[in-house]
Chain A
Amino acid sequence: MSPERATEHPAAAAAAEPGNAYEALNEGDDPRWAYGTGFADPLAGVDTRVPSGVDAADLAGYCLMLGDDALVMSHRLQEWCTRAPELEEEVALANIALDLLGQARLLLSRAGAAEGAGRDEDALAYLRDPGGFRNVRLVEAENGDFGHAMARLLVFAAWRLALLDRLAGSRDPVLAAVAAKGVKEVAYHRDYAAGWVVRLGDGTAYSRERMAAGLAAVWPLVPELFARHEVEARLAAAGVAADPAGLRAEFDQVLDQVLTAATLARPPERPGPVRAAGRAGEHTPALATLLAELQSVARAHPGAAW
């Protein structure tokens, strides 16, 4: 059995019985659907115990930070469904949102397991109040136009790719596995957003103006991405986390390259120290509005399954 098939799937179990319908769909040895097969479990074979010498509460907090970034960013992208300028872009944005939702699920599950208080991914996503969320403020800001969406996605993906790249060598095997999977996903997200930033920035006078406005709206939220929360500092020292301050050089290099190709200027940045406000649970009202929608069904029907 190949590593890809190590996890049990209902179809796999069913196909083991003789005369099963799944078998008929399948010409080969893969007991799943004939087209689109070989789904992989990113955590197959990974040691899920908290590594020795690592503070479990810190690990839970750190997984919440990265998981909340992905969850909230995913929700903002999902809000583009039925609103994107073209059907193909809508599907592209939804695909990116689903990638991030997958990362959020793994990270929130890890946070719940490390915390050890019996909270699963759903409890963490649906039953925390805004003050319990640890995401950066970049992802909670309300949607603007498509130029704004591409500016935010470029900034987010360039930052997260630099982060996940480093996390792939984390001392926590689960974080390392989640990061290794995420690197491939976020590399595509960055590429997709960069393509649009260049196309719009180096397009017509009007598209350029809208793209520059989107970039200007997003840029004040950039410095916070590189501010270090104490949990991040402790876990970076323990070889588990990536130090956010260490990501800035790669981020700048990528953004400079894209913005040069897009003939856009990098917006000015206010000098001075920046606090990791979102990481400390200090959020803008936009997050409360977002969560009210995201959590409404789960809170109206506690424990419901669908």
Chain B
Amino acid sequence: MTDLPLYEVFVRSKRGLNHVHVGSLRAADDETALRHARDLYTRRNEGVSIWVVRSDHIAATSPDEKDPFFAPSADKVYRHPTFYAIPGDVPHM
């Protein structure tokens, strides 16, 4: 079992606009991973769409790179569009 590849599972909920990472599982192939994800992560009526991707196909930043990657954006408040009011009927902001 543990020698099967690890998959990451992303579920889009009924209300959600994007797929959200919900967990991981092991499966022999993509199709089995989708079925397991359906059985393990959407039992309580959570989802309308599932993505699975093999964990080793995800390129990720390393914790060591956190400062060089993210610290430079911490002081640039002018990048945030905070100087105008968002109309009340604009959704998903």
Contact of A88 among B13, B14, B15, B25 (CB under 8 A): B25
The answer to whether the Cβ of B44 comes within 8 Å of any Cβ in the partner chain is yes
A95-B25 contact in complex given A88-B36, A195-B35, C-beta closer than 8 Å = no
Contacts of B32 in A (CB 8 A): 195
A195-B31 contact in complex given A36-B46, A88-B25, C-beta closer than 8 Å = yes
Contact of A35 among B13, B25, B26, B36 (CB under 8 A): B13
Q: Contact at B45–A192, with CB atoms within 8 Å?
A: no
Interface string of A22-58 (1 = CB under 8 A from B): 0000011000000111110000000000000000000
Q: Contact at B40–A91, with CB atoms within 8 Å?
A: yes
Q: Contact at A38–B40, with CB atoms within 8 Å?
A: no
Report, nearest first, the 10 A-B pairs whose CB atoms are least far apart.
A36-B44, A88-B36, A36-B45, A92-B39, A36-B46, A91-B39, A95-B39, A35-B46, A91-B40, A86-B1
CA distance A55 to B29 in the complex (A): 51
The answer to whether the Cβ of B43 comes within 8 Å of any Cβ in the partner chain is yes
Contacts of A92 in B (CB 8 A): 35-36, 39
28 contacts between A and B (CB under 8 A): A27-B15, A28-B15, A35-B44, A35-B46, A36-B44, A36-B45, A37-B15, A37-B45, A38-B14, A38-B45, A39-B45, A86-B1, A88-B25, A88-B26, A88-B27, A88-B36, A88-B39, A88-B40, A91-B40, A91-B43, A92-B35, A92-B36, A92-B39, A95-B39, A95-B43, A192-B35, A195-B31, A195-B32
Given A36-B45, A88-B27, A91-B43, 18 new contacts (CB under 8 A): A27-B15, A28-B15, A35-B44, A35-B46, A36-B44, A36-B46, A37-B14, A37-B45, A88-B25, A88-B40, A92-B36, A92-B39, A95-B39, A95-B43, A192-B35, A195-B31, A195-B32, A195-B35
Contacts of B26 in A (CB 8 A): 88
Q: Which residues of B contact A (CB under 8 A)?
A: 1, 13-15, 25-27, 31-32, 35-36, 39-40, 43-46
How far is the CB of B11 from the nearest CB of chain A, in Å?
Answer: 10
Contacts of A36 in B (CB 8 A): 44-46
CA distance A195 to B34 in the complex (A): 13
Task: Return the chain B residue nearest A188 by Cβ.
Answer: B38
Task: Return the chain A residue nearest B29 by Cβ.
Answer: A199
Max count, chain B CB within 10 A of own CB: residue among A28, A88, A92, A192:
A88
Contacts of A37 in B (CB 8 A): 14-15, 45
CA distance A95 to B41 in the complex (A): 12
How far is the CB of A101 from the nearest CB of chain B, in Å?
Answer: 14
